[in-house]
Chain A
Amino acid sequence: MLQFLVKRLAAIVPTVFLVSVLIFTLQQLLPGDPAVAMAGEDRDPNVIAYLRAKFHLDEPIPVRYLYWAKGVLHGDLGDSVRIQEPVTQLILEKLPVTIELAALAMTIALVIGISAGIVSAVFKDTVWDYGANVFALWGLSTPNFWLGILMILLFSVRLGWLPASGYVSPFEDLRANLASMIMPAFVLGNAIAAVLMRHTRSAMLQVLSADYVRTARAKGLDERVVVLRHALRNALVPIVTLGALEFGTLLSGAVLTEQVFSIPGFGKLIVDAVFNRDYLVVQGVVLFTASAYILLNLLADVAYVLINPRMRT
């Protein structure tokens, strides 16, 4: 186990390096002169010249990369041009919001997705199965922003139960925080639940027809124990992989959902930064989320090993 961890951790270093080169290069490929885009409406030539010098835009790309990488290695991701705040501070500001939203969405997705998946596998070809499949199809095919706006119209404008948008810190007011997060978390979780449900269903169907399940049943075990302990545990491996990947995606920000509910997370941060060519923000956030994604993958691999003893050797 230890050797496995060390190997995987060592592989992270070159991966993150490659990711950083990729982010930097892709950013340079964006059309338009960043200094011009950053200079704003008035496009004062003095301002453009100043920005160009400040961000070393006249230097060749590899040199610019080294300037940036040097800062990153010193823990300095630079400052946002648009609002003149350190990128690290912006990330730390948005991170708890994004993590909370991702965690809530994931919880909703796991609860709904896995239970619907189990139900539809156990009651295959019954009304329950069809119902779960209709739900999955609906979840997969409903656009997030549309569902979000409809929920706002119903729960905020019509019924007045929940705030339409905005974010309150849980440390300020936990109730208000949950009230502001429940709709976006549901919108995000709903789509993921559909994917999880489909995978849980097929994994469960496969496992339920396995020999050891028949053995377990033959031993006279309670059906609940057979399904939840013997079958589900084995069916969980692909679900964990998928869950970790989905969670990683959630951490990189849910652009449209954050936009609709005005949740100040990574998605909004990065989209605004791309449009404004606030490129230190883009690079910093992408580097951060890419690293988080890589780490989550590692955690998923560790989780496999814990779930499936056969992988421990």
Chain B
Amino acid sequence: MTTFFRSGRIAAFVLAALVCAPAAFAQTLRVGLAEDPDVLDPTLARTFVGRIVFAGLCDKLVDVDEKLTIVPQLATSWQWGPDQKSLTMKIRQGVTFHDGEKLDAAAVKFNIERHKTMQGSNRRGELAPVTSVDVVDPYTVRFNLSAPFAPLLAQLADRAGMMVSPKAAKAEGEKFGAHPVCSGPFKFAERVAQDRIVLERFPNYWNKGAIHFDKVIYQPIIDPTVRLANLKSGQLDFIERVAPSDMKALKGDAKIKVARMVEIGYQGITINVGKSDLAQKNPLGKDARVREAFELSLDRQAIVDVAQDGEGLPGNQWVAPTSAWYAKNMPIPKRDVARAKALLKEAGVTNPSFTLLTPTTADAQRVAQVVQAMAKEAGFDVKIQSTEFATSLDMADKGTYEAYVLAWSGRADPDGNLYSFDVTKQPLNYAGYSNPEVDRLIKESRETVDPAARLKLFEQVAAHTLKDRPILYLYHRHLLWAYSSKLSGLRTVPDGLVRLQDLKGR
């Protein structure tokens, strides 16, 4: 009887195990990245590709959705103070870090202070207007600001809003990035530089119902052809940044699905209008009419077709025409070579010549070549100078250039594409642009929390900067993803980060 009972129990156990098997089957998601991420510390991190890994590792106070609307993540609700100089946030209860520590208001305060004070922090600038953080109660924090700061929520939807375990951060100091401890759906398991980053499912994740993989392996594979070959041969389940030229061939492949999003960044040409003496020494930097003629000589759709195999959206502003923040009063000008020639005549310039600096990436070089050919029809003599990226950036910084093919990866809030580029003496203002009225308007847009009023200010900014043309915005790339057709539940958020919530394998 006992034996029968025992074997019955074993049988029941085996049966239960079989029934549960599909759920218990270890599922691994293998993601191919275009570059090796940098340090995995949200305070120090500085690359786009690193943010893709953070999406699995570190939850943020808030997130953005497909329409770039701010949605709750670790914070469940928030409210601006009456003078908009403070933001109060309710923190989700019952959330723990990967080391078992509790995530509460005190932990949030610690993290914001770490971002603001840690040596080498890349978040300090993003959180500059935050003067202090108060713990109102164990699950409520208040950000106190020196002035109203509309981009704050978008900053908290990125690395500035990522929360790390205070205990681990204190213990590891500046080495924290080697063993990051956050509160995201997956915890850090292992990293071999330039080979792989392995994350394992965090069993106590607050939203564990949405997680359907046990392990995620991120592998940097730089060559897009090889990245795609790995996906096709089944060694990877997902790859980011597919080469535009490969998209057509993937159309007929039943085993592979593709997704495309218009990037939140832009591709453009920055013009030295005041960064150094060089600006006054060439007609392009000196005379806004010459810059207008240059712009009118360009056909943006043709540039997209040649440089990106059509995988992009022409644009003329720091945000794409599809964005809610696009200034509709300043549409994309059509190519008009006759008008361009007339403008050059008016400016008294014949055959203006300038050097177009470009990094050695294939995209940038193709853009430069198309631009060179188009501008020639209007009478411009464009010389191309290809230079390794870090060197070209240094030249831009010193102002030893006339025009520069430069891209920006973009930020969820339009301020991240605008402020540092167009406000006088900001670090990314390579053009050397300075217009007190623009400075005032952009500053006001930062302090205006109401979206409608803010858009009005952006329209006024556009009216100035798109005439002064320190930057000629050309187009917005499609972020291209390819993945195994066995995957489902993929969300396409335009920030280009791969959300692992709701993503399922078959």
Q: Which residues of A contact B (CB under 8 A)?
A: 30-33, 36-37, 39-47, 50-51, 54, 80, 82-85, 90, 93, 149, 152-153, 156-157, 160, 163-167, 259-262, 264, 268-269, 272, 275-277
**Residue-wise interface mask of B (193-235) relative to A, using a CB-CB cutoff of 8 A (1 in contact, 0 not):** 1111000000000000000000000011111011001101111
| Interface-central residue, B36, B48, B121, B175, by most chain A CB under 10 Å | B36
B120 engages A93 (CB within 8 Å): no
The interface size of chain B toward A, counting residues with CB under 8 Å, comes to 51
Specify which chain A residues have a CB less than 8 angstroms from the CB of B229 in the assembled complex.
Answer: 149, 152-153, 156-157, 164-165
* A residues in contact with B38, CB < 8 Å: 40, 82-83
CB-based contact B46/A272 at 8 Å? no
Most buried by A among B39, B48, B220, B408: B39
Contact assessment for A164 and B226 in the assembled complex, using a CB-CB cutoff below 8 Å: yes
Binding site for A on B (CB under 8 A): 36-41, 44, 46-48, 119-122, 124-126, 174-175, 177-178, 192-196, 219-223, 225-226, 229-230, 232-235, 388-391, 393-394, 397, 408-409, 420, 427-428
B44→A261 contact, CB < 8 A: no
CB-defined contacts of B124 to chain A, threshold 8 Å: 44, 46-47
Q: Which residues of A contact B196 (CB under 8 A)?
A: 166
Docked CA distance A298–B206 (Å): 60
* Chain B residues near A93 (CB-CB < 8 A): 192-193
CB contacts (< 8 Å) of A31 on chain B: these are 390-391, 394
> What total of A-B pairs shows CB separation below 8 Å?
137
A160 partner, pick from B175, B225, B233, B389, beta carbons under 8 A: B233
The answer to whether B44 and A84 have CB atoms under 8 Å apart is: yes
User: A165 near B427 (CB under 8 angstroms)?
Assistant: no
Chain B: CB-nearest residue to A156: B233
On chain B, the residues within 8 Å of A275 by CB distance are 388-390
A39 and B121 form a contact (CB under 8 A): no
- A residues less than 8 Å from B389 (CB atoms): 275
* B residues near A153, Cβ cutoff 8 Å: 229
Q: Give min CB distance, A255 to chain B, whole Å.
A: 11
Q: Which of A93, A163, A164 has the most chain B CB within a 10 Å cutoff?
A: A164
B233, A157: Cβ atoms closer than 8 Å = yes
Residues of chain B lying within 8 A (CB to CB) of residue A32: 390-391, 393-394
> A42's contact among B125, B193, B221, B230, by CB below 8 Å, is which?
B125
Closest to A39 in B: B46
Chain B, Cβ-Cβ closest to A145 = B223
B482 → chain A, closest Cβ, in Å? 14
CB distance from B248 to the nearest CB of A (A): 17
Cα separation A226 to B46 with both chains bound (whole Å): 65
Neighbouring B residues of A45 by C-beta, 8 Å = 427
Contact between A50 and B47 (Cβ–Cβ < 8 Å)? no
Inter-chain contact A163/B233, CB cutoff 8 Å: yes
Q: Within the assembled complex, what's the spacing in Å between the Cα atoms of A277 and B126?
A: 24
Smallest CB gap from A263: residue in B: B195
Interface class of chain B by DSSP? loop
* Given contacts A152-B229, A166-B219, A275-B389, A36 and B394 within 8 Å (CB-CB): yes
Given A164-B229, A277-B390, A260-B46 contact (CB < 8 Å): no
B226–A260 contact, CB under 8 A? yes
Residues of B near A36 (CB, < 8 A) are: 393-394, 397
B195 in contact with A264 (CB, 8 Å): yes
Selected contact of B235 from candidates A90, A164, A260, A264, CB within 8 Å = A164
Most interface-central of A43, A80, A90, A153 (chain B CB within 10 A):
A43
A33 and B400 alpha carbons, distance in the complex (Å)? 14
A164 near B219 with CB under 8 A, answer no
Please list 9 pairs of residues, one from A and one from B, whose beta carbons are closer than 8 Å in the complex, sorted by A's number.
A30-B391, A36-B393, A44-B124, A83-B193, A84-B177, A149-B225, A153-B229, A157-B232, A264-B195
Looking at B41, B48, B195, which has the most chain A CB atoms within 10 Å of its CB? B195
Do B121 and A262 touch (CB < 8 A)?
Answer: no
Chain A residues with Cβ under 8 A from B427's Cβ?
Answer: 42-45
Interfacial chain A residues near B388, Cβ < 8 Å = 275
Contact among B119, B226, B394, B397 for A165, CB-based, below 8 A: B226
| B193: contacting residue among A37, A43, A85, A164, CB under 8 A | A85
Instruction: Evaluate contact between A261 and B391: CB separation under 8 angstroms.
Output: no
Contact of B222 among A47, A167, A259 (CB under 8 A): A259
A41 touches B47 (CB 8 A): yes
Q: How distant is the Cα of A264 from the Cα of B226 in the complex, in angstroms?
A: 15
**How close is A184's CB to chain B, nearest CB, in angstroms?**
11
Q: How far is the CA of A90 from the CA of B233 in the complex (A)?
A: 30
CA distance A42 to B429 in the complex (A): 11
The smallest C-beta distance from B461 to any residue of chain A, in angstroms, reads 21
Q: Is the CB of A262 within 8 A of B394?
A: no
Q: Please report the C-alpha to C-alpha distance between residue A264 and residue B192 in the assembled complex, in whole angstroms.
A: 8
Q: In the complex, given contacts A85-B178, A164-B233, what are 11 additional A-B residue pairs having Cβ atoms less than 8 angstroms apart?
A: A33-B397, A36-B393, A41-B48, A45-B427, A83-B39, A84-B177, A84-B178, A85-B193, A165-B229, A259-B222, A259-B223
Contacts of B125 in A (CB 8 A): 42, 44, 46
Chain A nearest CB: distance from B41 CB in Å? 7
CB-defined contacts of B48 to chain A, threshold 8 Å: 41
Give the 9 A-B CB pairs with smallest separation, nearest first: A40-B46, A32-B394, A264-B195, A37-B390, A31-B391, A156-B233, A84-B39, A164-B230, A164-B229
